[in-house]
Structure 1
Amino acid sequence: MVVATAEPRSLAAPTPSGPLLALLAAPAAMGVSGPTLALPEAARALAVSPGAAAWLMTAFGIGMAVGTPLLSAAGGRRGPSRTVQVGAALVLLGAVLVCLAPNLPLTVAGRALEAVGAAGLNVAAFQFAARDGSGRVPGIVAIGSAAGGTTGVFAGAAVAEVLGWRSALVLPVLGLLAVGAVLRGDGWGRSVDGPAREGRHPRTARLPLDVLRAPGFRTAAGLMLGLATVNFAILYGAPRRVADLTGWGPTGTGAAASVAALLGALLSWWLVRAAPGLGTRRVRLILAGGAAVAAALAGFAPWAVAVLAGSAASSLVTAGGQGLLTGPAAEGLPEERRGTAIGLFNLAFLVGVAVGPASAEGLLTTGT
């Protein structure tokens, strides 16, 4: 979901396998979408309105947005193994708070804490993957992260039906299954975070005003913010519309929504391949137009299949946009500022993750 800038590669630093790193990253993405169909039950159990319960999703997006730059910086200084340790501890602490919280504010706080830790696991996965010069490992991690996000609706509905609504809020704990193996694969305690770091030098912080002024960055980041906001609003609202239109239960609705989103994400590869022949302007028009069509279908179509088509279209343009807009976000900037530009671009995506569900809940509340 989020690609972090990598630490300098050391010859002494091994790379954990791609599937293992994908397992580390995917549950973070599942944490974004997992609670979607469990929110009504959460609202009843916590004695709050559905709009208030939507904070359980919004808080996760905010936590990811805050945690990603913080733990990216920490990983650059101390190495990704340390980021994994800190991230795992925060995920576990947040999940415990979510499971024990007697009211909404404490549950929201647990979700936010969990999200900061999940951001750390996601960041570390991509930092480890960046050591692979072939690009194969980063690709596997990206696919795993996308799969986690698109299947999260179904996974959350399924576990909530069996274990209760709180289980849908703690899906990021699945990433802890990979922590021990990742740390062993990285040679933790032997070379990577010891001698391998001796050659690093601290860098002075610098405000990214030059990046924010760059027209290419503003256009790419602004479009990504719009795409992400629409996508996560649909991710929140579309399953509820499908359930209303069909009468399906949470598990069936979650399965249909997950399949539609996953199909859209897979089809985004077609857009990425076609982009060079289309040109920058046409690609941007396709992305913006696709998001607008997706929002119209998901929000107003009277047939469940059309709502699901809107979800698929939104997933397609959002996944395609992440791949196609990352380069333009840093284009024209000095080499040393491109990492900052990509980090801020990813932050724009995460702001959309936080704003989308809240926007959808506001529209749904207004409509009723």
Structure 2
Amino acid sequence: MTTLSAPSAPSPAVRGTSLRTGLLLGALAAPASMGVSGPSLALPDAARALAVGPGAAAWLMTAFGLGMAVGTPLLSATAGRRHGPAGIIRAAAALVVLGALLVLLAPGLPLAIAGRTLEAAGAAGLNVAAFQLAGRDRSGRTPGLVAIGSAVGGTAGLFVGAAAAGALGWRAALVLPLLGLPFLRPSLRLAGGPPASASASAPAPAPAPGDDTRRTPGNRTGLPLDILRDRRFLTATGLMLALSTVNFVLLYAAPRRVTALTGWSAVETGAASSVAALAGALLSWQLVRAAPRLGPVRLRVLLALGSAGALALAVAAPWAVAVLIGSGASALVTAGGQGLLTGAATEGLPPARHGLAIGLFNLAFLIGVAAGPALAAFADQTVQFI
């Protein structure tokens, strides 16, 4: 049985460089996650302003997940293949600005959805570039920090979006990926430099998603059949899809339950929800540290049970504090799982296939980003559990 083994301890200088790099790249990736959660508490205002129902307004969240799912492979295969992470960052920034302008100027829901989709494609590119650059650190610490930064952005987005909507109007909650633009210049410098935290003897970094053009012998279809047949890849990716879907169901649904149970304002609910989910995201680092002791089987069981328990608690508990605990628990297992399951997804594959496998793994995560709000909105309109 394959077990997770702890990497050798890096030197203090390498740890310091890894920390600085991880914080920078986490800051680059965080606004993309804010774009997912930020509109959650502003959707009622958006629905009224656009003269549509709550279910239709939920497409402003679902479209963002779909845009990220499309933008991830598209930017990796176009700008990334020719110009590397720097090319992805430049193209992504242009899409974020263009999409945000369309959202701010859109007179109706269709154009607002189109703008959110473009904005999401750009946000996905910034996220991809952050993880590609973090992947130069073979110890896994920098990717872990980026995953936590992304989770922190998603959780803080609940409050930031509500506060922005209260101060500037509901459209402000839909353009939070613009907050990643101040980190473009240092990220571009990092993209053009050597791997800062990998030792001279470390293996070469895995190719970026979309960069792997080699195919296994006999695969004439162009499909990654060897990856899709790998049991460990399918197990890790399927679990990540489930964790992501549950987490983004709760990002949409849990704040509404808290409001219904307490009567709090959107800003108050956003603040409480952000604190709960932020605590969970930060505690995920303890899960990352404990993973080698748990082993792969117990880790997967813990992630699955944690996600299921979080969903049950947030949906069925009659107390607001229990709903918040469920939301935080979901953030914990999702943030920890995204970092840990990435390695598990590629464990049984040759190094030449790691880049494509990670791209497919991230695509499963983004499908959950899109599916979660849609499923929650459907449930809201049908079984009325919120």
TM-score normalized by the length of structure 2: 0.83
Q: CA deviation at 1:137?
A: 4.4
Unaligned runs of 5+ in 2: 1-17, 194-210, 216-221
Q: Deviations over 1:163-190 (max 9, x none)?
A: 00000000001111222343356569xx
Distance in 2 between the 1:142 and 1:289 partners? 21
SS of equivalent to 1:302: coil
Q: Equivalents in 2 of 1:295, 1:141: separation in Å?
A: 25
Check conservation: 1:35, 1:168, Cα contact below 8 A.
Answer: yes
Residue aligned with 1:122, SS: helix
Distance of 1:22 and 1:282 partners within structure 2: 28
SS at match of 1:333: coil
| % same residue | 68
Q: Is the 8 A contact 1:59 1:354 kept in 2?
A: yes
Counterpart in 1 of 2:276?
260
Aligned-residue offset at 1:121: 1.4
Distance 1:313 1:332, change over 3 A: same
Distance 1:53 1:318 in 2: 26
Give the corresponding residue for 2:41: 37
- After superposition, the C-alpha distances for 1:232-267 in whole angstroms (9 at most, x for unaligned) are 000110001001100110111001111111111122
Report the Cα distance in structure 1 between the residues aligned to 2:135 and 2:35, rounded to whole angstroms.
24
Q: Does the aligned pair in 2 maintain the 1:77–1:202 contact within 8 Å?
A: no
Paired residue type of 2:176: L
Aligned-pair Cα RMSD in Å: 2.2
Deviations 1:158-213 (A, max 9, x none): 0000000000000001111222343356569xxxxxxxxxxxx9935742111111
The answer (yes or no) to whether the contact 2:147–2:338 under 8 Å persists in 1 is no
- 2:213 maps to what in 1? 203
Name 2:252's counterpart in structure 1. Answer: 236
Q: Which of 156, 161, 165 is matched with 1:156 structurally?
A: 161
Cα gap change, 1:122 to 1:202, in 2 (>3 Å)? closer
Letter of the structure 2 residue corresponding to residue 203 of structure 1:
T
2:351 equivalent in structure 1: 335
1:135 to partner: Cα distance: 5.3
Residue matched to 1:9: none
Matching residue's letter, 1:171 = L
Could you tell me which of 279, 290, 293 is aligned with 1:277?
A: 293
The answer for the alignment partner of 1:192 in structure 2 is: none
Counterpart in 1 of 2:381?
365
Matching of residues 1-368 of structure 1 within 5 Å:
17-73=21-77, 74-132=79-137, 137-183=142-188, 203=213, 206-368=222-384
Structure 1 CA distance, aligned partners of 2:29 and 2:231?
32
* Conserved 8 A contact 1:38-1:157: yes
In structure 1, stretches of 5+ residues that fail to align are: 1-14, 189-200
Higher deviation after alignment, 150-159 or 311-320? 311-320
Distance in 2, matches of 1:327 and 1:130, equals 11
CA distance in 2, matches of 1:363, 1:162: 30
Alignment: residue pair count: 343
Give the aligned residue type for 2:265. Answer: G
Q: CA deviation at 1:224?
A: 0.9
**Matched residue type, 1:240:** R
CA distance in 1, matches of 2:155, 2:229: 34
